[in-house]
Homo-oligomer: A and B are copies of this chain.
Amino acid sequence: MTLERAVAFAPASVANVAIGFDILGFAVDALGDRITVTRTVQSGVRIASTTGVATDLPTDPERNTAGRALLALNVAAKPDFGFELQIEKGIPLGSGLGGSAASAVGAVVAANALLARPFTKLELLKFAMQGEVVASGSMHVDNIAPCLFGGLTLTVGIDDPRIKRIPVPKGICAVITHPHMFLSTKQARAILKREVGMADFVWQTANLAGFISGCYTNDLDMIRECLNDVVIEPQRRQLIPGFSAVHAAAISAGALGCSISGAGPTMFAWALEPQAERVRSTMLAEFARNGVECDHWVVPVESDGARIVA
């Protein structure tokens, strides 16, 4: 049986996760993009519609993240049919929640369901990476990997990336607060120094190794100690109104850690389930005190990645 049409849900994601700049990310299953791919007689890739929370997206496949990813798949698959894309954005642009990654991943996951000989997830990852180039100008996998594989993922290497799903201790939830403001990834990247001081390098690597180790051994004390970014966050927090107050509120409400999601302005915290609601409300209260409204979610960190939903 050959499918005529498939709909994929591709979740939002938090990149960097405080101590894994460009290498760690986790899926946020509470919101995502829905991508419908329909088989067409005409070959090639065509974008039929873009709807949802972000309109104004380019409909030229070469300039659209979902389109570009699907073009890469199309070249490799050489199917005797074409693809038509409907993009329904659930993730706001410029939120720091991996919206472009989700569209790229959703497109290739949906299209893959139409193929007689589907690709592996690692192959899909590489197609989706082509889409990310359109959005960010460079290859980044730290949103694509968790969006595709789910949960907390580590990416090693760029040209031939290896993905490792890192287990997350039971009961850990992510609190996500998305302030209503726009912050461009390019601006947030441009602000970063090109070098890391040696003392910060050692400190950050200790935190990263301790965090990974804590995840494998259910060591919540170690995770709490290590979920602490001494390199990137100090340079970027000025871009987010109320950052320090929100961060302090999350920690005092019992969060294991709190930092910027990707390039911002979304902030995330990790908390055990019993503390998660209180962490959310204190973070929102501090944002409100700074005159910033937020969308917000609480989700388990362990989750599935992008999947066919219809």
Residues of A within 8 A of B (CB): 20-24, 154-157, 162, 164, 166, 192-198, 201-202, 204-210, 212-214, 216-217, 219, 221-222, 225-226, 231
- Within the complex, which residue of B20, B157, B166, B195 is in contact with A205, where a contact is CB–CB below 8 Å? B20
- Within the complex, which residue of B157, B212, B221, B225 is in contact with A212, where a contact is CB–CB below 8 Å? B212
A201: which B residues are within 8 A, CB to CB?
21, 196, 201, 231
- Within the complex, which residue of B156, B202, B210, B216 is in contact with A162, where a contact is CB–CB below 8 Å? B210
- Are the CB atoms of B226 and A156 closer together than 8 Å? yes
A231: which B residues are within 8 A, CB to CB?
201
- Are the CB atoms of B206 and A204 closer together than 8 Å? no
- Are the CB atoms of B213 and A21 closer together than 8 Å? no
- Are the CB atoms of B209 and A23 closer together than 8 Å? yes
Give 8 new A-B contacts, CB below 8 A, not counting A164-B210, A164-B214, A212-B213.
A21-B205, A23-B206, A154-B213, A155-B206, A156-B206, A164-B217, A193-B198, A201-B231
How far is it, in angstroms, between the C-alpha of A43 and the C-alpha of B53 when the chains are bound? 76
Would you mind naming 26 contact pairs between A and B with Cβ atoms under 8 Å apart?
A21-B201, A21-B202, A22-B206, A23-B202, A23-B205, A23-B206, A23-B209, A24-B209, A154-B206, A154-B210, A155-B206, A156-B207, A156-B210, A156-B226, A157-B225, A162-B222, A164-B219, A194-B198, A195-B196, A195-B197, A196-B196, A196-B198, A201-B201, A205-B208, A208-B208, A212-B213
How far is it, in angstroms, between the C-alpha of A87 and the C-alpha of B191 when the chains are bound? 54
A198: which B residues are within 8 A, CB to CB?
192-196
How far is it, in angstroms, between the C-alpha of A208 and the C-alpha of B222 when the chains are bound? 17
How far is it, in angstroms, between the C-alpha of A24 and the C-alpha of B205 when the chains are bound? 10
Shortest Cβ distance from residue A143 to the other chain B in the assembled complex, whole angstroms:
15
How far is it, in angstroms, between the C-alpha of A226 and the C-alpha of B217 when the chains are bound? 21
- Are the CB atoms of B209 and A208 closer together than 8 Å? yes
Minimum-distance CB pairs A-B, first 3: A195-B195, A156-B210, A216-B216
Shortest Cβ distance from A192 into B: residue? B198
- Within the complex, which residue of B22, B197, B209, B216 is in contact with A202, where a contact is CB–CB below 8 Å? B22
A222: which B residues are within 8 A, CB to CB?
156, 162, 164
